[in-house]
Amino acid sequence: MLGQAKLDRGQIEQVLVNLVVNARDAMPEGGRIVVQTMNVDLDEAFLRPDGGGTPGAHVMVAVSDTGTGMDEHTRARIFEPFFTTKEVGKGTGLGLATVLGIVQQSGGCIRVKSQVGVGTTFRIYFRQVEEAAAPDDVAAAPPRGGSETVLVVDDEMEVQALLQTALRSWGYTVLGVTSPSEAIRLAEHHPAPIDLLVTDMVMPEMSGAVLAERLVTMHPDMATLFMSGYSDYSVESIAHSRARTGFLQKPFAPDAVARKVRDLLDTVDTVAPGT
């Protein structure tokens, strides 16, 4: 029987989405993706490169592909923020940095094996726990959904896919694009109101803040949720924005997105008398 590990469900889903999408992109001519789990015992020597950890029973999750593979130089840099081998506009290089952040935050470690022309395998290890999940973890109240229209703008394909899938599962109508220019064209021709913009702060063509300013002229009642993987962005950095504006730090769990979206949509703009 597979052992138990204490993890955030939304975050581990994000890890798997990122790894599977990367595997798919590494196989432009098709191939095979295998997701595997097993119990393993790790010793101190294995864990030492990651700065510690407790030797013993772990749960391993592996994602393998039969794609193009990587040379040693590329493999050594894949977790660096903004390092990417994809074409300009196809990704920001934050996907694997997000994966590493979630794994380390969860007390785990990750190993990568790759060979050019053969494929790549990511193996993630989490410490096994004996205790059962707490009642709050098992039966936490799910976030409330809605039927509003949400425009998602993120040039990181993995994040885009995760957000679209999550928001649609909560009932929202989701319009997804991967660039600010696409978002502007869509907003100009969309016949109905757009209730919420969910946008990355850092994108090649323009910042999320500039994009929001452009779009709000077309959809004045639109709320805005900014996202960023940079730690120096915060609510204060977008304080100049209009009301009904929020911020979400990457990486995040899908449930956190759903709750933030619902909070923003439920917030009513307050306008001072006489304005």
Domain of 224: which CATH number?
3.40.50.2300
Average pLDDT over residues 104-131: 92
Residue 89, pLDDT score: 44
- Residue 253, in any domain of the structure: yes
**Cα(first)–Cα(last) distance of the chain, in Å?**
65
Point out the domain boundary residue: 130, 148, 164: 130
Q: What is the DSSP string of 67-102?
A: S----HHHHTTTTSTT---SPTTS--S-HHHHHHHH
Residue 140, pLDDT score: 54
The answer to whether residues 81 and 181 belong to one domain is: no
Q: How confident is the model at residue 160 (pLDDT cuts 50, 70, 90)?
A: confident
Q: Say whether pLDDT at 77 is over 80.
A: yes
CATH number at residue 54: 3.30.565.10
The answer to whether residues 120 and 211 belong to one domain is: no
Point out the domain boundary residue: 130, 154, 181: 130
Q: Say whether pLDDT at 52 is over 90.
A: no
The answer to whether residues 16 and 116 belong to one domain is: yes
Would you call 42 helix, strand, or coil by DSSP?
strand
Q: What is the pLDDT of residues 183-199, one digit of tens each?
A: 999 999 999 999 999 99
Tokens of 246: 């929020």
Residue 228, pLDDT score: 81
More confident residue, 239 or 66: 66
The answer to whether residues 97 and 210 belong to one domain is: no
Point out the domain boundary residue: 130, 156, 177: 130
Angstrom distance (rounded) from CA 138 to CA 101: 24
Look at the block and give the residue holding tokens 């300013």: 213
Residue 176, pLDDT score: 92
Look at the block and give the residue holding tokens 């894949």: 78
Residue 227, pLDDT score: 87
Angstrom distance (rounded) from CA 226 to CA 15: 21
Tokens of 84: 């990417």
Look at the block and give the residue holding tokens 């805005």: 224
Q: What is the dihedral of CA 182, 67, 12, 59, to 10 degrees?
A: 180
Average pLDDT over residues 36-61: 88
The answer to whether residues 126 and 165 belong to one domain is: no
Angstrom distance (rounded) from CA 212 to CA 93: 23
How many domains is the chain built from?
2
Lowest average pLDDT, out of 9-13, 60-64, 107-111, 118-122, goes to 9-13
- Residue 275, in any domain of the structure: no
Residue 82, pLDDT score: 62
Residue 240, pLDDT score: 46
Phi, psi of 241 (to 5 degrees): -70, 165
**Mean pLDDT computed over every residue of the chain:** 83
The answer to whether residues 77 and 184 belong to one domain is: no
Angstrom distance (rounded) from CA 114 to CA 111: 10
Query: pLDDT > 70: what percent of the chain?
Result: 81
Alpha carbon separation from 220 to 26, 148, 192, 201 (Å, rounded)? 41, 15, 12, 20
Q: How confident is the model at residue 203 (pLDDT cuts 50, 70, 90)?
A: confident
Average pLDDT over residues 62-79: 92
Q: In the beta sheet, which residues pair with residue 176?
A: 152
| Other residues' Cβ atoms within 10 Å of the Cβ of residue 46 | 16
Q: What is the pLDDT of residues 223-259, one digit of tens each?
A: 999 988 664 544 444 544 456 788 887 767 777 888 8
- Residue 155, in any domain of the structure: yes
- Residue 135, in any domain of the structure: no
Q: Say whether pLDDT at 273 is over 50.
A: no
- Residue 271, in any domain of the structure: no
Average pLDDT over residues 163-172: 91
The answer to whether residues 12 and 119 belong to one domain is: yes
Please indicate, yes or no, whether the overall pTM of this predicted structure exceeds 0.85: no
The answer to whether residues 108 and 151 belong to one domain is: no
- Residue 273, in any domain of the structure: no
Shortest CA distance to 161 belongs to which of 240, 169, 116?
169
The answer to whether residues 148 and 119 belong to one domain is: no
Which residue range is the domain that position 69 belongs to? Answer: 4-130
- Residue 261, in any domain of the structure: yes
More confident residue, 129 or 244: 129
- Residue 172, in any domain of the structure: yes
The answer to whether residues 61 and 159 belong to one domain is: no
Q: Say whether pLDDT at 165 is over 80.
A: yes
Angstrom distance (rounded) from CA 103 to CA 98: 9
